Amino acid sequence: MGEQKQLKKEFTVRTMTPEDYEGLRALWMTIRGFGIRSLDDSREGVERFLKRNPDTSVIAVAKDKAVVGGILCGHDGRRGCLYHVCVREDYRRLGIGKAMVVHCMNALKAEGINKVSLIAFTVNDVGNAFWNCIGWTKREDLNYYDFTLNEANITAFNQ
């Protein structure tokens, strides 16, 4: 009596397709502190990325078909990179993040890629704790540089 039954949250991890964009974008908009780039993260930008990397990006889909996790994953022929790794807040701590990362790593290995990296904002405590917990190494021996080629590609952060 007074005990609530916990609903089992079922999910499937699979390779991302361009048709997943709307669900992926809806997920991105729920993630607090998430940065969305106006051009790179548009439908056209994601489709371009998936065309270049058709087998390496992944989504997690709930039983009700909602996208509850996603990773844009690609490579340049030498090194893989993970972008926009996220899991919907109410689906965290169920193994979705790790399952998606393993999926991406296996896809990269199948394409002959031997190393993968990612960038996590220093203020992303949840994400940084996740990467540390699953055994990724934080690099202290290098500096990260970037240069904006298109000033119209603006980043907006979810509040």
Amino acid at position 88, single letter: R
Q: How many whole angstroms separate alpha carbon 98 and alpha carbon 68? A: 13
- Element spanning 22, H or E: helix 21-28
Distance in angstroms between the alpha carbons of the first and the last residue of the chain: 39
Nearest Cα neighbor of 25 from 40, 15, 11 is 40
User: pLDDT truncated to tens, each residue of the chain (159 aa)?
Assistant: 444 444 578 999 999 999 999 999 999 999 887 888 888 999 999 999 999 999 999 999 999 999 999 999 999 999 999 999 999 999 999 999 999 999 999 999 999 999 999 888 887 788 888 888 888 888 888 877 877 777 777 676 776
What are the structure tokens assigned to 117, written together?
A: 């990296």
Residue 15 burial class via C-beta count within 10 angstroms: exposed 0-12, middle 13-18, buried 19 and up: middle
In whole angstroms, give the CA distance from residue 55 to residue 16.
8
Task: Specify the pTM.
Answer: 0.85
Question: Kindly report the CA angle at 35 between 29 and 39, in degrees rounded to 5?
Answer: 90
* CA separation for the pair 100, 54 (Å, rounded): 15
